[in-house]
Chains A and B, each alone.
Chain A
């Protein structure tokens, strides 16, 4: 969504919609509302819809400000939206995160209709997780409802939300990564081919994906016949369509195969006491550092992330495991936590910069650095499972964080033994000395503590300038 490029340029993710655009000036994010959008903006603000959605925390609040527009010749207003702590993308969300974003979009559409408006787009990139809940961040998504018109964003909704959710639920949860390849959502013909045949027996999926894809294919190079142009979608028909999409999305469920949510926890090979001691140590260091933002890499279900987020520190809990991220998210929603952001990330191949000019969606690194990176029980996975030399692991962490709390798990530890059991040990430098030499190139070691009852070491590191 936000690519922080040059001052006084529209931000590069913000070029498609002629209603307005985002720009940054002196480190503050603004949105210019164009004259073209004036009647729609006025209706949003005056009808009570804006107030209601902001109160319900479903739309990002903004203030009208009197700063100079970036393009005064077409400007109507400049607004300053509340700034988000972190921007994430749908290919970085777990199943429940994408599902909640989809349901929010439909909820907004229904709510808007009550106020004589509707959503003119249904992009998953318009939804962000803010203070623990999905919110719409594109204030200019609302349009006065042109009664009788079909929903212009129907296809976009199906591509951005319904198709990936159905693929995750019925084929494989990893297929959410198709969103990384297809920036405007999963093509419906592809979704239709990948989904199991029996999904044709599900009315919603049959209608909104399979038949929809067939219709697209059939009419791909044809204009709509003049007779059909006169046909309208009644408001009742539109509500029926939205209800049907909502029912279809609501019924999609995903649970990791062979596990129950209650059982899902990565077993550790050390005692409860050692685990508690590790928590206390990390907690103490977080308290000492007072970071503004923390990224917990390899966070699993976010036990250690919560040491920071429970202190009111905004924390990204990143993990490669869709089940762990989903569990963390569900726990966050249930406990109404507001400072945590579970995130699905493969650190060996983190999200790159994507889209037009490679500038529409930021890479993970572009969204940093942050004050503190946590990397607990992670380095052995990167160094041994993924063959990354320790010095490169250190360089990567130094890129992401100004400080780091890193756990070194030595070869003698059973977790590392497990990783080495099926391969030749080609890691002669994977030792305490090797670790300290590698990390010492980028960081000053502020403290080292042993985790009781294990041979693991915790390092508090500060990046060298």
Chain B
């Protein structure tokens, strides 16, 4: 496994076994879901470009989100 090749010192995470099946399904899902995130992001950028909005998140909204 890829994870075995990493030095133990750097990865305390290794205490969990991610599991072969979980590892592979995650690779598969991440490709599709990552593409979805990318499309959504570019779509938002495109929309904002044409509507003249800025696409950076509002810091206030973010702070509020933290306190919910």
Contact = CB atoms under 8 A, between A and B. Distances in A.
B19 A236 contact: no
A220 B21 CA distance: 7
Interface in B1-28: 1-3, 5-6, 9-16, 18-27
24 contacts: A37-B12, A56-B67, A140-B12, A143-B12, A146-B10, A146-B13, A149-B2, A151-B26, A158-B22, A208-B29, A216-B20, A219-B21, A220-B21, A222-B20, A224-B2, A228-B27, A233-B27, A236-B38, A237-B30, A237-B31, A237-B34, A239-B37, A241-B33, A244-B29
A231 interface: yes
B24 A224 contact: yes
The interface residues of chain B, by DSSP majority, are classed as helix
Contacts of B33: 237, 240-241, 243-244
Contacts of B27: 150, 228, 231, 233
B20 A240 contact: no
Given A234-B34, A237-B34, A229 B26 contact: no
A238 interface: yes
B22 A215 contact: yes
Given A220-B20, A222-B20, A236-B34, A241 B12 contact: no
A240 B19 contact: no
A155 interface: yes
The interface residues of chain A, by DSSP majority, are classed as helix
B52 interface: no
B29 A216 contact: no
A143 B15 CA distance: 12
Given A56-B67, A211-B25, A224-B1, A18 B30 contact: no
A240 B5 CA distance: 26
B23 A150 contact: yes
Contact of A212 (B11, B16, B22): B22
Interface of B: 1-3, 5-6, 9-16, 18-27, 29-38, 66-67
A105 B65 CA distance: 15
A215 B25 contact: yes
A18 B11 CA distance: 10
Interface in A285-309: none
A17 B21 contact: no
Contact of B16 (A153, A158, A219, A240): A153
B24 A219 contact: yes
Interface in A325-378: none
A444 interface: no
A170 interface: no
Contact of B37 (A52, A140, A240): A240
A233 B32 CA distance: 11
Nearest to B37: A240
A150 B12 contact: no
Contacts of B23: 150, 224, 228
B21 A150 contact: no
Contacts of B11: 143, 146
A55 interface: yes
B66 A150 contact: no
B30 A228 contact: no
Contact of A152 (B16, B24, B29): B16
Interface string A39-66: 1100000000000100110100000000
A231 B10 CA distance: 20
A153 B37 CA distance: 21
Contacts of B38: 236
A249 to B, nearest CB: 15
A216 B26 contact: no
A386 B20 CA distance: 47
Nearest to A16: B15
List of 3 A-B pairs having minimum Cβ-Cβ separation, nearest first: A240-B33, A237-B30, A237-B34
A36 B12 contact: yes
B52 to A, nearest CB: 26
A120 B30 CA distance: 18
A437 B67 CA distance: 52
Given A36-B9, A154-B26, A240-B30, A224 B20 contact: yes
A424 interface: no
